[in-house]
Amino acid sequence: MPLWHAVQVETRDEEAALPYWAFAWAGGLAIGRYLREHPGAVAGRRVFDLGSGSGLCAIAALRAGATTVAAADIDRFAVAAIELNARANGSRISVVGRDVLDEEPPEVDVIVAGDCWYEAGFAERVLPWLRRAQAAGIEILLGDPGRRYLPTDDLRELAAYEVRTTTELEDLAQKQGRVYALRPA
């Protein structure tokens, strides 16, 4: 709450978004665990992290051996956080600070998206964009703890992990974070 308040003061915007970038969300943590256990999912490949927040999934992808990683977020504080966290982890990540969901999918091999299904408006736009990316031959990895707008019928579960979060954000301090592939359309 103090951090959220600081953002509201800094932006002079009482409607300012939650400081998503200040936390490792359960969906992103699950992707991080998955990439540590299955580095082959991204090793030697170009990766794009959608809704990157802190840069967690992007950093995990680089550590798993991705050749290039780009991280996208619409929140300008997230852009700064990704850059700082990448530097602190010795990772080279290019940061995209605009909304890419109305653009053609990027030229990458894998898109990772951690915890992007918490809000109807965002969720409605993400799935068609991911479908376009899939049609272009890009592999999709999603991480999620069972948020309301998760399109479960479109997904195939790859792994489940107990991940530690915080009761400042969630109802429980431990959540089950699952990693999914997008089923073929």
Residue holding tokens 């073929």?
184
CB of 74 to ligand SAM, least distance (A): 4
CB of 155 to ligand SAM, least distance (A): 16
Q: Which two tokens stand for residue 30?
A: 């699950």
Of the two residues 23 and 134, which places its CB atom closer to ligand SAM in the complex?
A: 23
CB of 163 to ligand SAM, least distance (A): 10
CA distance readout (Å), 183 to 1, 51, 152, 156, 177: 38, 20, 10, 6, 19
DSSP-assigned letter for residue 48: E
Q: Are 181 and 158 in contact (CB under 8 A)?
A: yes
**For binding to ligand SAM (CB under 6 A), which residues are involved?**
20-21, 24-25, 27-28, 50-54, 56-57, 72-75, 78, 99, 101, 114-116, 118, 122
Q: Which two tokens stand for residue 13?
A: 């915007």
Of the two residues 11 and 184, which places its CB atom closer to ligand SAM in the complex?
A: 11
Of the two residues 118 and 161, which places its CB atom closer to ligand SAM in the complex?
A: 118
